[in-house]
Structure 1
């Protein structure tokens, strides 16, 4: 596994596993929890050590249970979760309570990375929320802190008023929405980019091109896309409910795309 060093010297595996439908009936985002940890078990067996979760997913306990019952030490895992700010910010006390719930569900006394999930339209509150994360970072409960879905204006707000810059900005980056400008902004501030849903947007035309490229390396179209992403220094968190495809998504470190193939992918 290749790792990236974040701006606070913490190392993060450049490929992780998304989890937002794991352990849910019908593998649906809004499905009720099934009570098992099958997908987490497979991912651990396949070699995943980086897992991306969130309060909004309503299944942090699935990840916590799966990691806890494995024979692998906690420190070997990199766990990300996120403060649910989809509806805004409920205040400092609310944030402390939500963070406590996450730690309990994840069955850990620290997380490797904690993010603000979404920006909202109150800049003072965004700074207040960031200050809460900074407090946990200072105390070692969060080993790194960052943001998700933040645009340039939100990053500038944190950079101006925060004591620590975000370690990552988790954003959409996929075919049809590579988000090159925002990735460049992240890079200019030494903020790592994490791509959520990195395999989204693959229509039949794109799939044909990717398969043609993949045939040159003995790789699938999904492996080609993930390789393209990490060659851009973008961390990826693909998700699969299939054990074999999970393994394939990790098997992307034994080939390099040509400049011509990278250009073809960029233009999809």
Structure 2
């Protein structure tokens, strides 16, 4: 799985093909979507038109809360594959634990079936808290490959990342730039000036040096290219510490313990 991928959250379906095409032309090879985004078909159109070998692409999608449960998940997966125009995905995730529904154990059973059948190359979860992860693993004996969660300098998820390290789960960040909410921070601006980079590039570089998988989103070709251009510099220990000091438990999205 590439450490830097391209996300399409909140991109309308009729704009998705152009955005994904621009990303693939820039050099991205990992594309992250979800059934609830309503743009899997747009992703599929871009993939079909790119002419790239399937083995060079890493495609992730997710089962939505309303489709949780064993049989419903299998049906939802078939529908996602149809919209994507693929015969398999590389990673399939449970989008939210939705603990009030208490169906994620049955949903996970369906994902394990899809994995055994070769219809997905890996399975994981999204927005799972430590208690959700431990219950899932204790029940099934199968560790998710990935937990995709909100993670950025304002919400650094240290406890959750420690649980990931304990089990060998890859941490993937959605909203890695906090939807731009932190990019005017003086500490980020100062680091960006020192490196001749943008604050967004500094934050993405911070993620990479933490070992986080990131999937920034943009529909602007210049910004899509800029977000990929983060491998030609490195942050020193003092700069990493300055960014670590920005943690304030700031969520831009729902609370996984209560979201249904």
Tell me the TM-score normalised to structure 2 length.
0.89
CA RMSD in angstroms comes to 1.8
What 5-or-longer segments of structure 2 have no aligned partner? 247-260
Residue 243 of structure 1: how far off its partner (Å): 0.6
Aligned to 1:28: none
Per-residue deviation, 1:226: 0.4
Partner of residue 53, structure 1: 33
Q: What does residue 147 of structure 1 align with?
A: 125
Q: Which has the higher contact order (CA 8 A, sep 6+)?
A: 2
Residue 5 of structure 2 corresponds to residue 16 of structure 1: yes
Alignment partner, residue 29 of structure 1:
none
Q: For residue 201 of structure 1, report the CA deviation from its aligned partner.
A: 6.1
- Structure 1 CA distance for aligned equivalents of residues 229 and 106 of structure 2: 41
Q: How does 1:54-203 map to 2 (within 5 A)?
A: 54-85=34-65, 87=66, 89=68, 91-121=69-99, 125-200=103-178, 202-203=180-181
Q: Is the 8 A contact 1:14 1:234 kept in 2?
A: yes
Query: Is the contact between residue 175 and residue 201 of structure 1 (CA under 8 Å) also seen in structure 2?
Result: no
Deviation at 1:118, TM superposition (A): 0.4
Length, aligned pairs only:
246
CA contact (8 A) 2:70 2:109 kept: no
Classify 1:73/1:216 alpha carbon distance in 2 versus 1 (closer, same or farther; 3 Å): same
Q: Which residue of 2 aligns with 1:218?
A: 196
Residues 23-80 of structure 1 show CA distances to partners (whole Å, capped at 9, x for unaligned) of: x2xxxxxxxx437621111111100100110011011000011001111111111000
Deviations 1:223-250 (A, max 9, x none): 0000001111110000011111111111
The separation in 2 between residues aligned to 1:248 and 1:152, in whole angstroms, is 34
Q: Residues of 1 paired with 2:245 and 2:181: CA distance?
A: 14
> Which of 18, 21, 25 is 1:41 aligned to?
21
Q: Any conservation in 2 of the 1:134–1:163 contact (CA below 8 Å)? A: no
TM-score (normalised: structure 1): 0.87
TM-superposed CA distance for 1:95, in Å, is 1.4
Does the Cα contact within 8 Å between 1:82 and 1:114 map onto a contact in 2?
yes
Query: The residue matched to 1:100 in structure 2 has which SS?
Result: helix
CA contact (8 A) 1:83 1:95 kept: yes
Whether the 8 Å CA contact 2:188–2:199 is kept in 1: the answer is yes
Note closer, same or farther for the CA distance 1:154–1:251 as it changes in structure 2 (3 Å cut). Answer: same
Q: Deviations over 1:92-121 (max 9, x none)?
A: 222111110000111101000000000022
Q: Is this contact kept in 1: 2:8–2:32, CA < 8 A?
A: yes
Per the TM alignment, residue 256 of structure 1 is displaced from its structure 2 partner at its CA by: 1.2
Displacement of 1:206 after TM fit? 4.4
| Cα 1:35/1:148, change in 2 over 3 Å | closer
